[in-house]
Chains A and B, each alone.
Chain A
């Protein structure tokens, strides 16, 4: 699968590629605009799964792109963290985004701060921030657990525009219910490419699509072969199936 993605990146990096519009990402500029007009901050949560999770890294990459845009308007972005490693990395990312936007003086490191690693301690602290600071826009990107609905419903009550993105499929229904836009599953990973429009990153999306076609074709072929073999030669089927078994 890695090879497919790499080859696709290699061949597709020069071409001008179409990306399907993702409403949640189209709305990012509206959210920033709204916050700027209202003179209120933006709240950004990058999930609760820690720095070792790719979803958190994807969320941090989105934060970088978002911070570049908010820096241009000097709209404050509040980033409460539940992992000190994530906090450290996010401070660096936002700082760099402000430098690239030509607004290094507008960067305020104290807006990216650590709260606690306790799941619901963190949730109640973020809820408190939402109620007190009344951010104009809330972003929930990354991996979430049971706190997803508590965060999103509180944001909904404060009237903020809310954009969520997660690969935690059990939390998707909650975000869809309580947020204005939701990036589902792999859209979270596509967001960085979408926001940057960098040809190399966009080519990666093409790689994912090709990978998906290969997977679907493999699945269909596997189902057809297994069904057929089950009737014609069950022994061969069993041997073939044993290649894919996880047990030692």
Chain B
């Protein structure tokens, strides 16, 4: 049996692999058991985005830019699914674009199952315009003429003939742009789409990036923001579609509580082992 001081000292040098294991178990259990916490308060920025889509008249085109890679799918794909469901179920048109090379696959993975479920047709109710290089240039080009920037969609169909693109010339004809991103793409949309063309812009980003976009909410350059998995869960709740977001929040809750517990334990070890006195000296 270790004396208490040595035990606390030992706590300070806890093997990090044990922490990894505890976190892995804590995250896995809610997923495996399907344990779900009821959704709490809705963040104002999520509500603003939901309300903006609710306020659009039927058949208004909504553009989603799928600017994320497979690595961010667990956090952003639930947002994409919930948004696609909201847009298509409200009989709005969905126009998918992307500034990153992996974006077209992300768009298909989000829209196809929702469209199939709601009986919506590709080319009529939604379109995946695919990836084109250029980033800022592409965003600027679309501000002038979307069909010139994208003469064909991701399947090679001419955008001139697609019913979903009827009457869509530039950003003036788009009701709302939503950038789902795990990169710095929302900055490009703010500078090259919102500022020069005064288009309504919202974003859905990973939790770690969300703080980057708070200044743009305050200035009105963005009207809504989905903040990581929490934003996804809130949106799923608002549209009444339980998915990975709501399920993931239980795992995230446990993980956060565990991290707080680790911090408390670490501090107990720090103070009881007398290291704080040694450091003060």
Residues of B contacting A143 with CB < 8 Å?
A: 184
Taking the nearest CB of chain B, how far is it from the CB of A122, in angstroms?
A: 11
Instruction: Bin chain A's interface residue count.
Output: 10 to 19
Is A227 positioned at the interface, with any CB of B under 8 Å from its CB? no
| Main DSSP-derived SS at the A contact region | loop
Number of chain B interface residues as a range: 20 to 34
Q: Give Cα distance in the complex from A56 to B203, angstroms.
A: 25
Of A118, A120, A169, A246, which contacts B221 at CB under 8 A? A246
Q: State A119–B197 Cα separation when bound (angstroms).
A: 31
A170 with B182: CB separation less than 8 A: no
Is B43's beta carbon under 8 Å from chain A? no
A110 interfacial contact with B, CB 8 Å: no
Q: Is A248 an interface residue (CB 8 A)?
A: yes
Contacts of A247 in B (CB 8 A): 198, 220
For B184, the closest partner residue in chain A by CB is A49
Stretch from B33-41, B57-65, B161-169, B208-216 that touches the partner:
B208-216
Q: CA separation between A193 and B221, bound complex, in Å?
A: 35
A11 interface contact, C-beta 8 A: no
CB neighbors of B among A7-31 (8 A): none
> How far apart are the CA atoms of A247 and B219 in the complex, in Å?
10
A219 at the interface (CB under 8 A from B): no
Q: With both chains docked as a complex, state the minimum distance between the C-beta of A156 and any C-beta of chain B, in angstroms.
A: 10
Asked whether B195 lies within 8 Å of A246 as measured between CB atoms, the reply is yes
Among B182, B194, B196, B221, the residue within 8 A (CB) of A145 is B182
Residues on B with C-beta less than 8 A from A119 are: 69, 71, 182
Q: Judge if A214 is at the interface, Cβ distance under 8 Å.
A: no
User: Which residue of chain A lies nearest to B195 when distances are taken between CB atoms in the complex?
Assistant: A246
The 8 A-B pairs of least Cβ separation, nearest first, read A120-B71, A248-B198, A170-B211, A146-B208, A170-B212, A247-B198, A246-B195, A170-B208
Identify the B interface with A (CB < 8 A): 16, 69, 71-72, 182-184, 194-198, 206, 208-209, 211-212, 219-221
Residues of A within 8 A of B (CB): 49, 118-120, 143, 145-146, 157, 169-171, 246-248
